[in-house]
């Protein structure tokens, strides 16, 4: 059973920074190595969930949605099985619940269709 535990959320003023972290675990096996890519998603109140950033296992390629390009950075630590999201210059519209996700196959990664989602961590940005 996959377990994804997010942390690092909180309240910050616009222009501030937060670093989210996701610890992955599956029966003591490496989650990162078993999934084609890993990602962060977010969902704001009244809006649909959207992918924010993706990191590919084999190439280390990172892809971001346009609205966070240049402000957010996704990274991973294979030895610790963690995925982080550094968020700088936060804006009010970044306010959302942020989720760590596994995407097990190449097709899922290309379609941004997650396989498993964590419980989430709340990010609130005040203007």
pLDDT digits (tens, 9 = 90+) for 31-68: 888 899 999 999 999 999 999 999 999 999 999 999 99
d(CA 72, CA 86) in angstroms, rounded, equals: 5
Using one digit for the tens of pLDDT, what is the confidence trace for 81-96?
Answer: 999 999 999 999 999 9
Q: Residue 72's Cα: distance from chain center in Å?
A: 10
pLDDT number for residue 31? 85
Q: Who contacts 51 (Cβ-Cβ below 8 Å, separation ≥6)?
A: 39, 40, 41, 65, 101, 112, 114
Contact 93, 68 (CB under 8 A): no
Long-range contacts, 46-53 (Cβ 8 Å, 24+): 47/96, 49/99, 51/101, 51/112, 51/114, 52/85, 52/98, 53/85
3-state SS assignment for residue 44: coil
Please give the structure tokens belonging to residue 50. Answer: 């959207």
Average pLDDT, the chain: 94
d(CA 125, CA 69) in angstroms, rounded, equals: 18
d(CA 21, CA 120) in angstroms, rounded, equals: 11
């Amino acid at each position: 059973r996959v377990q994804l535990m997010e942390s690092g959320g909180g309240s910050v003023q616009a222009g501030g920074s937060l670093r989210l972290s996701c610890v992955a675990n599956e029966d003591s096996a490496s989650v990162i190595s078993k999934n084609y890519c890993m990602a962060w998603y977010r969902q704001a109140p009244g809006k649909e969930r959207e992918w924010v950033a993706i990191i590919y296992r084999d190439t280390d390629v990172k892809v971001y949605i346009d609205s966070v390009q240049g402000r957010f950075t996704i990274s991973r630590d294979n030895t610790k099985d963690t995925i982080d999201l550094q968020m700088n210059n936060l804006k009010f519209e970044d306010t959302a619940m942020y989720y760590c996700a596994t995407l097990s196959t190449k097709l899922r990664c290309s379609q941004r269709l997650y396989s498993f989602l964590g419980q989430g961590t709340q990010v609130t940005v005040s203007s």
